């Protein structure tokens, strides 16, 4: 018998979560606020990555796609004078377009071949940025990218150079994006993504064009990855090819694997927990260079001892609070 | 002009040699364990650092350092087999992920031990072989060492795989692990041998080329990318394919580098791999996918 859990519970949880997120900057130092901005941007990146993995493909090009959004938005605003909010959307659109073009060769492949193929495609894009000084700025990348315009209407003045304001802006954009992806996953399209992953032969047999759905997941995920890149570009003001190299991709992979990809909150949990460990333990104690060591150890440990990710702990923890009666929330997720 | 072409051919032969060593090791590991070892470039890096430690810092003879590099990386390989890949057997994605994790650890350890700076390694030999007279093509002796060592090691590997019981067992495991196990072949033992050989080949490639390339903790990155291109082009799981593809790739890359530039050459190499993945995913010599 399904448990009679009040329907307003999840809503209450969300309200509390957002109250916490809104108040968060007030307890953080300036540099911690900057980290919070990057974390929110990374959350969008890793959630969009999860959307891609729904159809069963693990890409190694996702960070480069993020870079396409960053380069696209930066170039549009800097060279062509497109207003920044619009250029962000166009940059994300560029990322989606590039992903669409790449999908023709890449989605012919599956599994390991897709992984390697996506790596090759991403690396080619990255080398093009490196090789062509015009317009991509070569190895040094783009500098003096226009920042997000300040809002100055009467008494209302918001300067987005201030980390706290940009944090709120990112929070809104990222929340909306995650909501869109969440709705997409819960729609018939999203259910088809799951079918394409777990029962691709059956899905094809009942008339599902699996290639079309894999393309859709790839393009939508890339749009939001591009959006996260655009958010980043206009905040830091300078981007270069190395910012989007395979090492960054490994970090995203680590967040997704450590957190787990069966739920929306899994990868978010992974990104938040690992960033917190990184910032609190490594930076405070002065072991910043040891970040790869820590990530490597955590990656190995989580694959070996927690293959379902941190998210698999959440039902157990919530059972502790509800006295062992909590039903597993959400739709039945396919187990890995 | 002919001297120039010949020079480029010599350069390509040298590049093909060490690339073949790395790629053959990668294929061997994949063949027996079904795991793509992303940390293979870092094993190459370990071999190079063995030379930094034993030869450049402690000033033992160069060839002793190469031998140390070979044995040391081989042992690291055995450790990886036991600690990482054995628990991940029958889980290709898991094996790949733990090898990525191990790659990060090895890089960080190299940074801890030696720092991120580029190492200076005094050249073991300055000798140069002149071809076509004094203004013709030149082949530094160190490069000749790499070429000769590759031929020697690959011939030894071929003999081992074709003519010894261990080699037969290894090939049997690569073809069908279950059937091999039913015949009384220890899969763990075989995996250990394959991992030792595969890692040692990468390590010896690193040790031999250390005086010729830039030795720093992240040097494995370009090596693993090259090795992936080679094993995809040659066909994942095919040792002969890896050797042929190494020669092919080295020639393409060296000639494009000579006539255009290095970045274009990298792009061409990656495009070559994408092309093979699209047109013939089994590669030039691959037969069927080893799951």
Torsion sign, CA atoms B274, B279, B281, B285: negative
Looking at the fold, whether A189 and A240 belong to one and the same domain comes out as yes
Report yes or no on B242 lying in a domain: no
Report yes or no on B234 lying in a domain: no
**Considering chain A, what percentage of its residues have pLDDT values greater than 70?**
93
Average pLDDT over residues A267-293: 82
The residue in chain A having the minimum alpha-carbon distance to the alpha carbon of residue B99 is: A300
How many independent structural domains does chain B possess?
A: 1
Domain residue limits at A109: 26-244
**B105·A293 Cβ contact <8 A:** yes
Average pLDDT over residues B135-162: 91
pLDDT computed for residue A326 by the predictor: 43
* φ/ψ (deg, to 5) at B279: -85, -40
**With 80 as the cut, is the pLDDT of residue A282 above it?**
no
pLDDT computed for residue B48 by the predictor: 95
Looking at the fold, whether A216 and A284 belong to one and the same domain comes out as no
Calculate the dihedral angle through the C-alpha atoms of A174, A176, A178, A183, rounding to the nearest 10 degrees.
-170
**With 60 as the cut, is the pLDDT of residue A312 above it?**
yes
Cα–Cα distance measured from residue B54 to residue A297, given in angstroms and rounded to the nearest whole number? 28
Lowest mean pLDDT among A40-49, A128-137, A326-335, B145-154: A326-335
Looking at the fold, whether A220 and A295 belong to one and the same domain comes out as no
Domain residue limits at B137: 2-218
What's the ipTM? 0.87
What tens digit of pLDDT does each residue of B45-75 get?
Answer: 999 999 999 998 998 999 999 999 999 999 9
What tens digit of pLDDT does each residue of B117-129 get?
Answer: 888 888 888 888 8
Of the pLDDT bands very low, low, confident and very high (cuts 50, 70, 90), residue B6 is confident
Report yes or no on A260 lying in a domain: yes
Looking at the fold, whether A228 and A290 belong to one and the same domain comes out as no
Report yes or no on B251 lying in a domain: no
What tens digit of pLDDT does each residue of A122-151 get?
Answer: 999 999 999 998 889 888 999 888 888 888
Which residues on chain B are in Cβ contact (under 8 Å) with A119? 228
Average pLDDT over residues A309-333: 64
Report yes or no on B276 lying in a domain: no
Report yes or no on B268 lying in a domain: no
Report yes or no on B252 lying in a domain: no
Write b or e for each residue in A136-147: b if 16 or more Cβ atoms lie within 10 A of its Cβ, otherwise e: bbeeebbeebbb
Mean per-residue pLDDT over chain A, rounded:
87
Looking at the fold, whether A186 and A151 belong to one and the same domain comes out as yes
Task: Give the one of A116, A131, A297 whose C-beta lies nearest to B264's C-beta.
Answer: A131
Lowest mean pLDDT among A187-201, A216-230, B128-142, B210-224: B128-142
State how far residue B41 is from chain A, nearest Cα, in angstroms: 14
How many independent structural domains does chain A possess?
A: 2
Report yes or no on A317 lying in a domain: yes
Residue from B33, B277, B286 whose CB has the most chain A CBs within 10 Å, to mutate: B277
**A292·B107 Cβ contact <8 A:** yes
Report yes or no on B269 lying in a domain: no
**A124·B221 Cβ contact <8 A:** no
pLDDT computed for residue B187 by the predictor: 87
What tens digit of pLDDT does each residue of B234-268 get?
Answer: 988 888 899 999 999 999 999 999 999 889 999 99
Looking at the fold, whether A225 and A278 belong to one and the same domain comes out as no
Cβ contacts of A223 within 8 Å, gap of 6 or more? A48, A92, A93, A95, A96, A99
Last residue of a domain, one of A244, A273, A301: A244
Report yes or no on A9 lying in a domain: no
pLDDT computed for residue B192 by the predictor: 93
**With 70 as the cut, is the pLDDT of residue B290 above it?**
no
State how far residue A317 is from chain B, nearest Cα, in angstroms: 26
The residue in chain A having the minimum alpha-carbon distance to the alpha carbon of residue B34 is: A112
Cβ contacts of A238 within 8 Å, gap of 6 or more? A141, A142, A143, A144, A145
Looking at the fold, whether A166 and A292 belong to one and the same domain comes out as no
Report yes or no on A6 lying in a domain: no
Looking at the fold, whether A282 and A212 belong to one and the same domain comes out as no
**A246·B100 Cβ contact <8 A:** no
Report yes or no on A50 lying in a domain: yes
Of the pLDDT bands very low, low, confident and very high (cuts 50, 70, 90), residue A331 is very low
Looking at the fold, whether A283 and A157 belong to one and the same domain comes out as no
- Give the N- to C-terminal CA distance of chain A in Å, as an integer: 26
State how far residue A36 is from chain B, nearest Cα, in angstroms: 25
pLDDT computed for residue A73 by the predictor: 95
């Amino acid at each position: 018998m399904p448990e009679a859990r009040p329907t307003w519970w999840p809503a209450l949880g969300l309200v509390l979560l957002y109250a916490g997120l809104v108040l968060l900057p007030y307890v953080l130092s300036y540099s911690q606020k900057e980290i919070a901005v990057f974390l929110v941007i990374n959350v969008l990146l890793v959630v969009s990555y999860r959307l891609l993995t729904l159809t069963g493909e693990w890409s190694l090009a996702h960070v480069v796609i993020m870079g396409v959004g960053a380069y696209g938005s930066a170039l549009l605003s800097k060279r062509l004078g497109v207003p920044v909010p619009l250029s962000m959307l166009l940059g994300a659109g560029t990322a989606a377009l590039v992903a669409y073009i790449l999908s023709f060769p890449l989605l012919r492949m599956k599994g390991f071949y897709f992984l390697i193929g996506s790596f090759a495609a991403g690396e080619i894009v990255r080398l093009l940025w490196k090789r062509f000084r015009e317009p991509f700025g070569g190895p040094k990348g783009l500098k003096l990218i226009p920042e997000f315009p300040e809002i100055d209407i009467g008494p209302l003045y918001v300067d987005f150079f201030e980390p706290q304001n940009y944090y709120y802006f990112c929070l809104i954009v990222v929340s909306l994006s995650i909501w869109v992806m969440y709705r997409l996953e819960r729609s018939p399209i999203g259910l088809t993504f799951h079918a394409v992953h777990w029962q691709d032969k059956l899905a094809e047999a009942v008339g599902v064009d699996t290639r079309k759905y894999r393309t859709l997941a790839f393009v939508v995920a890339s749009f939001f990855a591009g959006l996260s890149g655009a958010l980043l570009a206009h905040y830091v003001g300078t981007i270069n090819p190395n910012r989007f190299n395979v090492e960054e991709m490994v970090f995203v992979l680590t967040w997704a694997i450590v957190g787990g990809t069966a739920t929306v909150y899994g990868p978010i949990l992974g990104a938040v927990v690992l960033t917190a460990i990184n910032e609190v333990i490594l930076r405070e104690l002065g072991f910043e260079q040891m970040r790869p060591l820590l990530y490597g150890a955590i990656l190995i440990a989580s694959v070996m001892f927690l293959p379902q990710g941190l998210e698999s702990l959440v039902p157990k923890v919530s059972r502790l609070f509800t006295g062992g009666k909590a039903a597993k929330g959400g739709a039945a997720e396919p187990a890995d | 002009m002919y001297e120039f072409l010949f020079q480029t051919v010599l350069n390509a032969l040298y590049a093909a040699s060490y690339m073949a060593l790395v790629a053959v090791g990668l294929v061997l590991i994949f063949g027996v364990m079904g795991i793509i070892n992303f940390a293979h470039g870092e094993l190459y890096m370990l071999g190079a650092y063995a030379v930094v430690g034993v030869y450049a810092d402690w000033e033992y003879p160069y060839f002793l350092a190469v031998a140390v590099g070979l044995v040391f990386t081989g042992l690291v390989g055995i450790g990886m087999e036991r600690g990482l890949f054995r628990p991940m057997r029958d889980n290709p994605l898991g094996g790949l992920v733990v090898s990525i994790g191990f790659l990060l650890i090895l890089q960080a350890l190299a940074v801890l031990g030696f720092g991120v700076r580029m190492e200076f390694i005094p050249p073991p030999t300055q000798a140069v072989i002149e071809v076509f007279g004094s203004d013709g093509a030149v082949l530094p002796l160190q490069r000749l060492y790499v070429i000769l060592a590759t031929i020697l090691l690959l011939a030894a590997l071929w003999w081992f795989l074709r003519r010894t019981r261990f080699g037969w067992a290894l090939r049997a495991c690569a073809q069908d692990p279950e059937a091999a196990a039913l015949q009384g072949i220890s899969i763990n033992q075989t995996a250990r041998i394959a991992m030792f050989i595969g890692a040692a080949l990468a390590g010896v490639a690193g040790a031999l080329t250390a005086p010729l390339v830039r030795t720093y903790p992240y040097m494995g990155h370009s090596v693993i990318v090259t090795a992936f291109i080679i094993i995809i082009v040659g066909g994942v799981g095919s040792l002969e394919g890896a050797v042929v593809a190494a020669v092919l790739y080295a020639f393409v890359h060296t000639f494009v580098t000579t006539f255009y530039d290095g970045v274009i050459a990298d792009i061409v190499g990656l495009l070559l791999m994408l092309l093979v993945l699209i047109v013939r995913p089994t590669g030039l010599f691959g037969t069927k996918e080893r799951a």
